[in-house]
Each structure stands twice: as structure tokens, then as C-alpha cells.
Structure 1
Amino acid sequence: MSAESITGTMKWVSTLSTRPSLEAAIEEVVQEAQALLQTTPDLGFVFISAAFASEYSRLMPLLREYLPNLPIIGCGGSGVIGMSQQAQARELEGEPALALTLASLPGVRVHPFHLEAEDLPDLDSPPDAWTRLIGVPATEQPHFVLLADPFSARVNDLLQGLDFAYPGAVKVGGLASGRSTNSSNGLFCNYRLYRQGTVGVALSGKLVLETIVAQGCRPIGQPFWVTEGERNILLGLEEQAGTSPMSRGGGALVSQKRTPLEVLQELIQSLTDEEQQLAQHSLFVGVAQNEFKQNLEQGDFLIRELLGVDPRVGAIAIGDRIRPGQRIQFHLRDAEASAEDLETLLERYQQLNTPSTTSPVGALMFTCVGRGESLYGESNFDSRLFSRYLPNVPLSGFFCNGEIGPVGGSTFLHGYTSVFGIFRQLHD
């Protein structure tokens, strides 16, 4: 099912209800959204609290009575994010809440879809196998919002395939949350409830989708070249100094090679007492995604878990594949680092948008269940910071079991991250 509106100005509204009755919550968000939008919507997003999990099957039939024939996707979450009647973003965790976004998207083709894991092509398949699956040609240059079940979707394969078939496309989204079994998660697409797979929407035409991917970490020490690695095991590191050791001819400079454990132990000794305490449980490895950038900054790294060490050979295992020639840097994560990371990225985004740039009309927020009040000790932290830098931009979303967003031109599944998808109208 596709929809395309032809002329006019893009408009985006977000509403939120905390009423414990599902019928009352739906009536409230729909009436408020329609009053704010004041035109026919072309797309809807709905995020429903897991407190309503026993009533997921009733959501779509009730919504359809108010909004028939609307392309719509959504999912359940342990918490939801939406705009209060005071036009302030709120993050509601562990309590009944329903968020609805309606968007009028002139000049945009809207293509919702649902995929089961068994539908996905083999990763050796050509790009057109993926474009046939989605139903949108690569020539349309679509962007994607993806909402997936954490237990059944094969999300990493899906992201790899979409990056292959649609290399210029932006993909954002998250994994449904709120229950520990796949029988209780809810995905919604075009008035149907799904318990497995992925729902999504491809958006192409007069639309720009930009991202902020705040992984909540700050770098410590300095970057190192990987001189030796096997699968997800770091075996050798060398201090970064100019070009990669792999490009100097003859491979790595063995005389300068150090074991990752030696590097890590030296780094730990250089930290403050507070940082050393933090490193015992919140130490991560950032893998640089740009092979050519000399001066690496926050946002240039894909953050992965440090899984363990092997003292016999000085090796370190991380939560991703690694290869010689890549650069890594150790990172720490806590509330202060998360706040600093997001603010740095928001400032950078604000600086890149000149007065001639079209203003954002709306945004989606996909944030980890490990952030929010449990991380910051207060509610609405990330959404409030976002609104400080991008005021008057309607925001909605949910708390995820994993967040989808790009780093360095490729799309990844993250943890402990806040991903923002920011929508702007594209003019000729």
C-alpha cells in the first residue's frame, strides 16, 4: 500500500495520552492530533506502553475507526515518548501511555511493509532480491523506519541487506521492548498486529531524513591501530601515528606491537580513582568507522562491549568482528558521559544547519531501556535536551531493546543508545 501527496507544506504532529483506558487514550490522541494537523494525514506512527500488552490486539481495530485507510506502523515498548498538551516532550516509563504521530507528507511516497525472518534473502543474493522484497526500487532512493521483534527478526541480516541494496538510504528504528518473550511483543502495520519479524515504512520523494546517534560514551586514552585480530578477538595494537601499519609495506611493525591487555592495563593506571571504579563495569571499545579520517571525534566510533580478556596471550574479546588496519579507542559510559555525548552531537547538528536549510518538521526518538530515569536519575532527560537544541520539533518514539541507526555510512544495531531520526521537507 502506497500513498503520495502532491503539493503543499509538510506537517508533523505528536500527541500523548496517559489514560489507563485504551479506548479513552486512543480517542484523546486522535482528536488532539487531528486538531493540530488540520489536514488529511499521509502516515501515522503509534507507540503503546507494554502496560497495555494484554490489549495489543484491540489497538488497531480501535484506531481504524478513527483513521481508516491510513498507512501506519508502530510497536509496543516498556516506555513511550510523545508530546504533552503543553507541547513538551515526555518520556513515560513503566506506566500506561499511548503516543500517536500523524504526518502530512506532500511529494512523499509512503510504503509500509511487514517482513518475516524467513522472507529475508541470503546475504549472497544480489541487490534486486532485497528491492523485490521491500517493493521499492533503489532508484527511488527511499529512507526507512524499522521496528522489529528482538527475538525473531534477524535484524543484523536485514540491515546488512538493506545497506547493500539501498546504499544511500538512512535507516532508523528500534526493537520492541517490555516483555521477556516474543509472544508478548507487539508490532503494528496497516491495522494488523504481528508478533514476529519487522514492520517498516519506506519513504521516498521530497523528504530528507537525518540522524543523531548518541551512543552514550566518552573516549579515554588515545586511538590505536589493530595490528592483529581474529574474528572478534583483538590480539595486537599499535599507537596511532600517521598512516595505518597495514599501508606501510611489509605489514605491521612488530617491534612496536603491544598486546591489547598491556595497553588496557596502562590506560587504567592513568585514570582517576573515579574513572577506575567506572571502568570495572562500564568499559567499552569504540571501533572507528572512517578509515581515512585522521582526527577522530565522538560519533566516529561504533561502540561495542568488552566481553573478556585472555591473560595468557594478552587478548581482548569484543562484541563485534575486528580486522587488522582498523582503529579502536577505549570508552567509558555513565550518565555524565551520555549527557555530554548527546549534547556534543546536538550542537554539531545545530551548527551544520544554516539559515538556508529547511527546518526540521518532526522527529522520532529510539532510546535504550537502559537510559531514561534508570541512567540519569530523572525523567525526560534526552528528550528535553533534544528540544533545547531543536525547539518546536514534534517528537515521539519508545524505549527499545536495541536501537537502529547509522555510524560511518553503515547501519548498526546498538545498545544503550539514543537514535533520533529528524525529518525535513526537500524543496526543488
Structure 2
Amino acid sequence: MEEKPKEPKMPMTSFASINEDLVQNIVKRLPASSFASAACVSKSWNQICNQILSKPKFASAFSLNPNEKVAFEEVVNKVLSAPIRPHFAIANIIGSGVDLREKLDFLATKLGSQTPIIVSCASGIMGRDAVTGEHREVMLEEYWADGESNSCFGIILTVGFLPGLKVDVIPLLQPRKVHRPALVDCFVTNIRDYAASVSGWASPVGIILFGDEGADQKPVMEKLDHAMSRDTVIVGDERAQFLYRSGIESRNDYGSSEYFPAAVALVFARDRDKPCGTGEIQFHAALSSGVSAIGPRYKAVSVRNIGSETGRTTLLTARREGEQEIQDGQRILDDINNELVNQIGRPDLYIGVTEQRKCLVGSEKSRVMTFLVFHGVMGGDQEYLFADGGGIRTGDYFQFYYSDPTTALSSCNEVSKNFRKLKLDWSSRNCLQAGVSDVCSKELVGGFVFSCCGRGESFFERCNVDSSPFLDNFPGVPMAGVFCRGEIGRGFSVLNADEGPQERTLHCCLHVYSTAYLLVSYTPAPPEH
């Protein structure tokens, strides 16, 4: 009896390899929720998923759909349309009567209850439309002016995956009792303790801060600036409505009768337990200034404060630097208005006060720091100059500044040039380190923009100016932006190469008519040999 010829055996290793490639091709096309389920199928599938999501990733989407539910579904579906593991989420909303609690709960359901989330109301938003892909900057006031006030709603949602970093939300609590200050020292200590617990270093990589619209963020930023390493970048919105969810449940008890959150910080700290082979994430910052100095410097002679902690006004007299005559508010304003006579329109006027103050946290040793603090000019009479806010002291020097679109446009162009230089520097440095034959691998992952609500199309008389440094240099990179009523920015010397020694010692964290940019870059770990 003849034996049947044996069929040739296929090498098992070859089949396994083909099978793995097929699985990877399928899995990397899955939406985020299905991708998460696939990672739980088996160890081999989990390894494949980890390979697909080995690098940091940002996903951002924008919607102006007047139906709030549809708009939220559009942006959530877009950011979760491809594999991502949410390490944090920020949703910025424009509209009237928005239920932030409902939006926060919806996002927690979609992204996971352990994901740190911040939801805030903004004066405007900027980003790419979830449906059309078109980039837009939209200001709330301009939206209303188009006759859409009855159906005005917009949202920009950003989700980030940052392997190698730990991320969480930490609130600044303030007692609800009248005249009780916010627990700023405790807030700063909590941020440092969190960073130290996950990284071994008390200063995080970066902080995105949202301040309550009724709270004074000046003492907060002064203590953060004092306590954090110069490498810690801080950006954000000084005055907003917000809600948050932390990955630690005990931090979410902010509905109690005793405290309310006066600010909330999304803290990014290095992970000392990051897996071997994980690359390095860096935060970079830049600032486009929108004010110009005018007139001489003055020295405050007499200072009075009126009003409450949340609505203080400073009344002051001053003398020109180098002169002895004391001038009242009306005379000072007349001199400044004479210098502004050739300006088009009526620019907003500020005084930039140079303050030397002792800073400390808790019982630590204090040190003297010099801050530039802006105060809006509210007017003047034959006795006093009126400035918004408190904190000015007799002997402080100040200079007038005015909102200037020419300066803002020039500064925005300078930021764009610095972004371009940064890209070239990455390329040349990587090629030198890796060798000509290797691929230059440093890349931008994503970024944020925090711009003054006084800027935008009406200020520049052209659209998308504040977004232009991103659009011109990183057109395919996810970017989310908001227009604020007070932009926070600290740590700008990284990209502002033209800063001199004096500017580096003069600290300014709360800006006016400016735009703060945050870039997040990634450098893969070098291959093991």
C-alpha cells in the first residue's frame, strides 16, 4: 500500500510572525475603547498594544455645534477614534448656562473615573474642527455678535497620553468663611509632595493652572515661582469657572460647606518607575507680549487700598523718577494721554509695578524676589491715580503700558521664528548624536495656547494670528487654545533667547494682552546595543 506523500510543514515561527503582524495592523486601527479591550485579550495582545502606544500622544478636537450633546459626542468620538490611553483631559467650553458638572461626569464615563480631568468655561477657543478639520479661533463675544446668542456653544477637548510622566489634579482650597485666605502654602506643598512621591524631585516638569474668577492668583503665582525649579513651566487661565476630577478620590471632595477650590493645577511630574526604553518628554514655553511701555518711570509716594479682597482698588500719588514734585492722578494721566495721541483707537492702559517682596513657603527660609505686576488703570482725579487690585506699596516703581497690536504681531512673529529655530536645533542635534545614517527622532507631540481675550481677530484685524506660530511650524500637530481673562505664564527663557540678565531676574507670571505657548516634545530612548 502506497503511502500518501506528506504535505510540507509550514514553519511555525513564520506563521506566528505573520499572525502578529496581522493583529497589529488590525488593532492599531481600532478606536480607543476597542483598543483598551484588545489589550486585555492576552499577554501577547497586550504587548502588541504597548508597542503601538509606545510614544506620547495628544488628541484634540473642536466643535461649534449648537447642540451641546452632539458637540460633546463629536469631540469625544474624534479624540477616541484612534488608540490612546488617557493620562489627562482638558475640556474648554464657550456658551451661556453650561452645566459643568454634567460635562465632567460625561467625560469621566467616557475616559475612566481615574483620569484627571479639568472642565472650564473660557472667553474663546481655538483648534481643529472635529468634522471638517478646519482650524478656527472663536471668541465668545464675536459668536454672540453673529446673532447666535440663543444657541451659542463650543468646545475644545484635549486628551493626552504621556508615558514617562505622572499626571494628576491638585486643588487650591479656600475657606468659605469671609476674609479667610486661600491655603496657598498647603497647595504648593501638595504639588511638591506629589512630584517628589512619583519622581523623587520636588519640582514637576510643568503645571497647567486654572484660577477661580473671584480669587486673587497673584500670591499663588508668587509662591509657586519661589518654590519651583526654574525648569518648571507654568501656563494657564487666571480667571475661569471650572470643575475638576482627580485620580485620587479624596481630592474630589470640594463640594463641602467648609472649602471651595480657588484654583486647580494639572501637575506633570517625571515617573521614576518608568519602563526601561521609555524616552524623554520636555515642556517648552514662549510668550507673545501685547503691550508697549510708554512715558517715564514713577515712584509711588502715597498708597491707599479700598474695597474687599476680591475687588480691591489702589489709590496712589507718585513722582517721576529723578524728580521731587508729587503728581496727582489727573496730571499723570494727562501726560500719558499726550504721549498716546498718535495711537489709533483707545488702547487699554496698565501700570507695570516692580515689586521686591520676601517669599517663603511654610517655615522655610525666605528670599527676596523681584516681580513685575500689571494693574489696570481705572482712571484718576486731582488727588489720586486709580489702579485695579492691591499689593502696591509706597516706594514701588511703576511704568505705564498700553495694549498695542503692532507689538503683539511683531512678538507673535518672533515666537514663530523661535519655533522654527527650535525645529532646526532638534534636527541638527539629533543628527550629530545619532549619526548621519540614523533618523532624527525628536518630535513635537502637542501643545497649548493661552491668549488674552482682548486679542483675536478684532485686535489684529486678521484671523488666526495667535495660532500662527503653531500652524506655520507644526501644522499636523494637535493644538488646543483658549482665550482668557488673564493669561498665566512662567518659564519663558527656554525659547525667548533674546532675554537679557535683567529680564531673567524680573519675574512676571500674570500677563496682560499676551499669549502663552506650551510645547510638549519627545525624544525616544537610545537603542540598546
Give me the TM-score of the superposition, normalised by structure 2.
0.60
Q: Which residue of 2 aligns with 1:104?
A: 161
Q: Which residue of 1 aligns with 2:217?
A: 155
Alignment-mate amino acid for residue 81 of structure 1: M
Q: Higher relative contact order at CA 8 Å, sep ≥6: structure 1 or structure 2?
A: 1
Cα deviation digits, residues 139-179 of structure 1 (max 9, x gap): 2421211113202x4423322332333253322111455xx
- How many Å separate the matches in 2 of 1:204 and 1:60? 24
Over 3 Å counting, the alpha-carbon distance change for 1:124 and 1:114 in structure 2 is closer
Over 3 Å counting, the alpha-carbon distance change for 1:21 and 1:269 in structure 2 is closer
Q: Which residue of 2 aligns with 1:387?
A: 471
**Is there any run of 5+ residues in structure 1 with no aligned partner, and where?**
178-184, 239-252, 291-299
- Percent identity, aligned pairs only? 23
Which structure's CA Rg is the greater one? 2
Over 3 Å counting, the alpha-carbon distance change for 1:310 and 1:43 in structure 2 is same
SS in 2 for 1:274: coil
Q: What is the correspondence of 1:235-254 to structure 2 with a 5 Å cutoff? A: 235-238=318-321
SS in 2 for 1:419: strand
Q: Which residue of 2 aligns with 1:244?
A: none
Over 3 Å counting, the alpha-carbon distance change for 1:257 and 1:74 in structure 2 is same
**Root mean square deviation of aligned Cα:** 4.1
Q: Which residue of 2 aligns with 1:25?
A: 71
Over 3 Å counting, the alpha-carbon distance change for 1:309 and 1:363 in structure 2 is same
Q: Which residue of 1 aligns with 2:38?
A: none
- How many Å separate the matches in 2 of 1:96 and 1:318? 34
- How many Å separate the matches in 1 of 2:449 and 2:182? 32
Q: Which residue of 1 aligns with 2:277?
A: none
Cα deviation digits, residues 320-379 of structure 1 (max 9, x gap): 655688765433314344323333344345446652375432221222333324434554
Residues 55, 163 of structure 2: 8 Å contact kept: yes
Matched, 1:285 2:348: no
Alignment-mate amino acid for residue 236 of structure 1: R
- How many Å separate the matches in 1 of 2:379 and 2:122? 31
- Deviation (angstroms), 1:88: 4.7
Matched, 1:61 2:105: yes
- How many Å separate the matches in 2 of 1:403 and 1:75? 14
Over 3 Å counting, the alpha-carbon distance change for 1:116 and 1:374 in structure 2 is farther
Over 3 Å counting, the alpha-carbon distance change for 1:17 and 1:128 in structure 2 is closer
Matched, 1:82 2:127: yes
Cα deviation digits, residues 238-297 of structure 1 (max 9, x gap): 3xxxxxxxxxxxxxx6xx5565677875665455x432x65x65333344689xxxxxxx
Give me the TM-score of the superposition, normalised by structure 1.
0.72
Matched, 1:344 2:451: no
- How many Å separate the matches in 2 of 1:218 and 1:351? 25
- How many Å separate the matches in 2 of 1:367 and 1:10? 25
SS in 2 for 1:60: helix
Residues 50, 79 of structure 1: 8 Å contact kept: no
Over 3 Å counting, the alpha-carbon distance change for 1:336 and 1:125 in structure 2 is closer
SS in 2 for 1:39: coil
- How many Å separate the matches in 2 of 1:284 and 1:91? 26
Alignment-mate amino acid for residue 339 of structure 1: L
Which one of 219, 234, 254 corresponds to residue 171 of structure 1? 234
Over 3 Å counting, the alpha-carbon distance change for 1:387 and 1:126 in structure 2 is closer
Q: Which residue of 1 aligns with 2:189?
A: 131
Over 3 Å counting, the alpha-carbon distance change for 1:125 and 1:270 in structure 2 is closer
Over 3 Å counting, the alpha-carbon distance change for 1:345 and 1:309 in structure 2 is farther
